[in-house]
Amino acid sequence: MEREEKIIAYLLNELNTEERADFESAMHADPELKQAFLSYQTSLSSLDKLAAETPSIELKRKFESFLKNEIAKPQAHQNNLRILSPLKWMGVAASILLAGFFLNQFIQDAPTNSDFNTINPEWIQTVSTGKTSERIQAIHEITDKNDLDPTILKAIEEVMYNDQSSNVRLAAVESLGQYVHQSEVQLMLIEALQKIETPIIKIEIINTLTQNKDDKAKDTFEAMLAKNDLNDAVRNELHTNIRKLENIY
């Protein structure tokens, strides 16, 4: 085993007791080996700090609880119901209009007279309690439309922040990405880019914002790069996408 391999194996606890003892003795006797060891140790320690963030279970529960409460609420405003065709379950006759409650409790500043304030309870049920694949499918299908209902937009934003699976949160970003040309979606993603810590979600948002080819994204990326606490993969993605945007202008 090469010296470097042995150092790494030691740090990763891959040596057996005898090999560890041998290595430690060798390190006592060889200052160069010890120096090399300390250097590797420092490098690995800095890598250790790259722990990925996951949304708190409390947040998820809060979200699920809210959605469940909405389903349990009395069926009001049924005359405003609009069936969203791509969803197979949207045809359920007993659909409940949740938008009024949704808007009041979820989004303080949303338009109250929207024509699109509809959301199907089964959809809510699916995105809050369904299997991962069902949640991803629900997210993709509901955004497979030309215009995005503000209520649904808000619900997908909640999924992007709170779903327990980062694969579902990734699907939420991909879906919102179809509407990144809308300023409200762009602002929503810029805000999320700064708040969400999970590297894969940040990377997806960076790529999505770059599609818009405007200065807001570039300014945001540059401001983020000025901070020191970025994950390496995210930092790399910001650099790459700034270059992409600079080539365009």
Partner 1 sequence: MKNLILYICLLGFIQMQAQESYTIDGASGELYIHEINKVTLVGSNESKLTVEVDGKLYETPEKSKGLKLINPAGYSDNTGIGLHVSKDGNSYSFRRISNKKGNRYIFHVPKGYHVHYESSSYNAGTLHINDVEAELDVSANYNRVELSGVTGPMAIHSVYGGIEAKFSSVSQEGPISLYSVYSDVDVSVPANTKANFNLKVSYGDVFSDIDLSYPQSEDGFKHLNAKKFTGLMNGGGVDFTLKSGYNNVYLRKQ
Partner 2 sequence: MFISENSKITAMKYILTCLIACLCISIQAQENTTNYVLKNSDLKIKSDYASILIESSKTDQLELVTNATLNGVQMADLLDVDWDSNSQTLLISANFKKVKKMSKAELDKLMEEADCEEIKSSWKKNGNAWGNYNFNTEVVVRVPKQVSSLNINSTYGSIDVNHKAQTLHLFSTYGSVEVQPNTGCNNCDLESTYGSVSLNANSKANSDITLQSNYGDIYTDIDFDINKEKSENEMFHSVIVGTLNKGGQQKIHLRSDYSNVYLRGN
Applying CB under 8 A, the residues found at the interface with partner 2 are: 11, 13, 24, 28, 44-45, 48-49, 51
CB of 178 to partner 1, least distance (A): 13
CB of 182 to partner 1, least distance (A): 20
Contacts with partner 1 by CB under 8 A lie at 12-14, 17, 47-48, 50-52, 54, 131-134, 136-137, 140, 164-168, 170-171, 199-200, 203, 207, 233, 237
Nearer to partner 1, 20 or 77 (CB): 20
Which one of partner 1, partner 2, none is in contact with 132 (Cβ closer than 5 to 8 A by kind)? partner 1
* C-alpha atoms less than 13 angstroms from C-alpha of 116 in its C-beta half-sphere: 14
CB of 44 to partner 1, least distance (A): 8
The answer to whether the beta carbons of residues 8 and 47 sit under 8 Å apart is no
Which one of partner 2, partner 1, none is in contact with 134 (Cβ closer than 5 to 8 A by kind)? partner 1
Which one of partner 2, partner 1, none is in contact with 28 (Cβ closer than 5 to 8 A by kind)? partner 2
Nearer to partner 2, 177 or 199 (CB): 199
Which one of partner 2, partner 1, none is in contact with 223 (Cβ closer than 5 to 8 A by kind)? none
Return the number of other C-beta atoms located less than 10 Å from residue 96's C-beta.
23
Q: Which of 211, 201, 205, 200 is CA-nearest to residue 188?
A: 205
Calpha distance 77→99 (Å, rounded): 9
Sequence-distant (≥ 6) Cβ neighbours of residue 20 within 8 angstroms: 10
Which one of partner 1, partner 2, none is in contact with 45 (Cβ closer than 5 to 8 A by kind)? partner 2
Q: Which of 151, 225, 206, 224 is CA-nearest to residue 184?
A: 151
Nearer to partner 2, 22 or 134 (CB): 22
Calpha distance 164→161 (Å, rounded): 9
Q: Cα 109 to the chain's mean position, in Å?
A: 23
Which one of partner 1, partner 2, none is in contact with 197 (Cβ closer than 5 to 8 A by kind)? none
Q: H-helix or E-strand containing 205? A: helix 199-210
Nearer to partner 1, 12 or 94 (CB): 12
Q: Cα 85 to the chain's mean position, in Å?
A: 27
The answer to whether the beta carbons of residues 205 and 171 sit under 8 Å apart is no
CB of 50 to partner 2, least distance (A): 9
